[in-house]
Amino acid sequence: MRCLTLFILCCCCWGAPRSLLAQTATAPAVQRFGLVLLQPDAQMQERVQNMDAMASYLKAVEAAVARVTAQAGWAPNAGFVVLVVRPGPEARVWWDGQQPLPAAQQQALVAAVAALQPFVVRRGPVVVALKLGWGGAPEPQRRAPAPPEWKAVAQAAGRALPLEDLVAAAWPSAPFQSASAASAAAAGSAP
C-alpha cells in the first residue's frame, strides 16, 4: 500500500501548492489536508487502469470544489469529498463535512464534481476521499469519512457492512456487484 499511496501523493499533493488557487481576499482558497485511500493497495492496483489518470481526476475534483466554494455565500467548512468510481467509467460523490451544506450548495458541489470525466477502473469500484477545507476552516480530526448516506445504509442493515456492500447499497443502481452480494446471489440460486 505504501507504493500506491506514495505515487498518488506525489501526483496529487506535490504537483500543486497547498492552497489550490491564488484567489482574491474575498474568495477563500481550498486547503488540501490529505487523501484517504479506502481500499487495500493490491485492490487499488488491480482496479485502477492508469494511476496518472487517477491523479489527474483527483486534481480536477479539487479544482472543481475550489471553483464552486469560491462563489459568494459559502461559509468556512472542511471535510471529505468521497468519491466512488466504478467501471463504465461512472463516478459518484458524497460530501461528509464538519458542517452539513445547505441543499443548494450540496447540489452545486456534487454537480461540479459529477461533470468531470472519471478515470477508468476495472473489476469493481475504487473508493477514495479528498480531505479538503475552505474559508480557513480547521482540518477535521477524523481520519476517514462516513457520509450521512452511508451511515443510514449501515443503520438500516443493523450491522457494519464491508465497504463494497456499503457502496453498492448507497449507490443502488450500480452495475457492479460486491463480492459478498455475488456470493450470496450464487448461493441462493444454487440447487
Rounded Cα distance, 55 and 119, in Å: 9
pLDDT at residue 105 tops 50: yes
Q: How would you label 144-164 residue by residue, b for 16+ Cβ within 10 Å and e otherwise?
A: ebebebbeebbeeeeeebeeb
Write down the pLDDT at residue 26.
Answer: 45
- Per domain, the residue ranges of the chain are 2-143
What are 8's three cell numbers?
498518488
Locate all alpha helices (DSSP H) within the chain, ordered by sequence. 2-12, 41-47, 51-69, 103-114, 148-157, 163-170, 179-189
The model's confidence at residue 172, banded by pLDDT at 50, 70 and 90, is confident
Mean pLDDT confidence for 15-35: 59
CB atoms within 10 A of CB 124: 20
Rounded Cα distance, 118 and 85, in Å: 7
Write down the pLDDT at residue 184.
Answer: 42
Rounded Cα distance, 93 and 123, in Å: 20
Mean pLDDT confidence for 64-93: 95
Note if the pTM is more than 0.75.
yes
Write down the pLDDT at residue 173.
Answer: 58
Higher pLDDT, 24 or 66: 66
Rounded Cα distance, 24 and 70, in Å: 9
Residues 137-153 pLDDT 10s = 999 999 999 999 999 99
